[in-house]
Amino acid sequence: MEELRNRLIELINNCGLSIDCIYYIVKDVYRELSDEYRLVLQKQQEQALQANSEASENKNLEEEEK
């Protein structure tokens, strides 16, 4: 992680863009990353709920068979 951070800082420092441009680019990238992160968390939550639901269904079926 530290290597990525350092490389990003180096790239920003050497790109030749104004601080205004850098700010808006970083802000836009952050927004996109944040949106994607929320989607990943939502998918993980849905998968966990589905797994719990399937486990409950399997448990109920086993109890009915007894």
The 10s digit of each residue's pLDDT in 3-54 is 999 999 999 999 999 999 999 999 999 999 999 999 999 999 999 999 888 7
Q: 27 near 17, Cβ under 8 Å? A: no
Amino acid at 62: E
| pTM score over 0.75 | no
pLDDT (0 to 100) of residue 58: 73
Is the predicted pLDDT of residue 63 greater than 80, yes or no? no
Distance between alpha carbon 60 and the CA centroid of its chain, in Å? 34
Our CA angle for 41, 42, 46, nearest 5°, is: 115
N residues, the chain: 66
For tokens 């939502």, name the residue: 42
> Greater confidence, 60 or 12?
12
